[in-house]
Structure 1
Amino acid sequence: MKTSTETLTFTVAGTGETVELTDYYAVVAGYTGRDAAAVQHHIDELAAIGVAPPPEVPMFYPVDSDTVTSAAELILTGEESSGEIEPLYIRHDGRYYFGIASDHTDRHIETLDIGESKRACPKPVAGTVIPVPDLQDLSLDDCRARSWVDGRLYQDGTLDGLRTPANVVELLLERNPIGERDFVCLGGTLPVIGGDFIYGREWRIELTFPDGTTIDHKYTITKGHQS
């Protein structure tokens, strides 16, 4: 995992405070489904098309922290990339926060190397986060997660099929040499509607809590050469 040299800034909902991360790790968690049999079925499906099975479940893929961004416009060189809404677990100065992110991934590279496919793209995040006094008390089961691509609904459902935030973070810290450092961790996603990836330009992600609290983010992908 690479330490960032850029500052990642979030606004804390309801307080107006800001959280600034500079020296932190960035990780994308994969295969985070709560149903072990369903996860294995997915692994078997991927293996059938040539994707190597993960050495452990869940998997934690380190990404360059400098690619985690709340920018609204991003440049990508690949032709086949798509995003997915994911919960975002953040630790800063020993305190936890919750946000949302898009695990934008190069789908061509994904068939060759999942870790490299995730490192090939920026990881867009919403600029607003919610403070979490205790991860054990954070439940996302009744939260509604949605994403859109070019105005078309792409994902829609609750997050009750994912491992709990506390479980994901516990395993992250157990398996990775993070220690007391700050980190951001994308925590998994839900299926896309219809099962097919869409390689669009305009993306929107949104998560709504049962009390109506909503976090959202929009970003646009431009094809070109990154400077």
Structure 2
Amino acid sequence: MLTFTLPDGSTETVEPRTLLNAGYAGRNQDEVAHHIAELAELGVPAPTVTPAMYPISPYLAQQTDEVHVQHGRTSGEAEWALVILGDTENDVLLTVACDHTDRELEVHSVAWSKNASPDVLGTNAWRLSDVADRIDEITLKAWVGETPIQTGSLADLLSPKYWLDVLRERGLFERGTILISGTISMHPGVDQFADSWKVEMGDPATGNVLTCEYRTILMPAPIG
């Protein structure tokens, strides 16, 4: 079960039933195509269509401050998340998220790489309807260790409305569905591999900030 605290102090609790990770979800799809070409040079397979959407095991939607990893080449991504509580847009929460990804697996399958670690969600949220009229002004930032690695806004990504329409088309606009947005560009030259990640989503109109942060813990070496 996930529990979110809203700005008025009330809480909403929901059991994740469907977890989806958007991919290649930049609003400028020409830039997305350029990014796909860059990833192809690193061996990451190109998607068959953009934007993409990957189903993830629902138990991987977690509110945690620790992520256990099998090796040192894993990293997070600054994202937002939609949490569906009911069947109308007034029943949708918006929160901050970090999609922790196995970069070694990514060269074999993006979907596999995203099922290897949790999607970490914040413990605070806003009702989407309360911020919908200024959604593009909301900022999104990430730090790897103490180093800034991503800086942007929700205007850089396909909008929550776009994805709500997709969920409706697929019969997934229902309580317990969680959709993670896809991520913004990383700063060039920053090492994405470190033992902690922090993502922050801010609303300039109110000064409210949503945060999720965690450290990675290396699992013991296997035998065999």
* TM-score clears 0.5: yes
TM-score relative to the length of structure 2: 0.88
User: Residues 162 and 21 of structure 1: is their aligned pair in 2 closer, same or farther, counting only changes over 3 Å?
Assistant: same
Q: Does 1:208 align with 2:191?
A: no
Shift of 1:219: 0.9
Q: Which of 142, 149, 170 is equivalent to 2:144?
A: 149
TM-score relative to the length of structure 1: 0.87
Aligned-partner Cα distance in 1 for 2:210–2:84:
18
Shift of 1:38: 1.4
SS of residue in 1 equivalent to 2:111: helix
Q: 1:96-175 to 2 correspondence within 5 Å?
A: 96-133=92-129, 137-174=132-169
Number of residue pairs matched by the alignment: 217
The answer for unaligned runs of 5 or more in structure 1 is 1-6
User: Residues 9 and 156 of structure 1: is their aligned pair in 2 closer, same or farther, counting only changes over 3 Å?
Assistant: same
Shift of 1:64: 1.1
Identity %: 28
Q: Is the 8 A contact 1:138 1:165 kept in 2?
A: no
Aligned letter for 2:201?
L
Shift of 1:138: 4.8
User: Residues 139 and 111 of structure 1: is their aligned pair in 2 closer, same or farther, counting only changes over 3 Å?
Assistant: farther
Aligned-partner Cα distance in 2 for 1:193–1:183:
31
Aligned letter for 1:213?
N
The answer for unaligned runs of 5 or more in structure 2 is none
Shift of 1:177: 4.6
Aligned letter for 1:89?
L
Cα RMSD over matched residues? 2.1
Q: Does 1:180 align with 2:168?
A: no
SS of residue in 2 equivalent to 1:140: helix
User: Residues 196 and 168 of structure 1: is their aligned pair in 2 closer, same or farther, counting only changes over 3 Å?
Assistant: farther
Aligned letter for 1:127?
T
Shift of 1:51: 2.4
1:81-124 residue CA offsets vs partner (Å, 9 max, x unmatched): 00111011111123111001001100111111000000001111
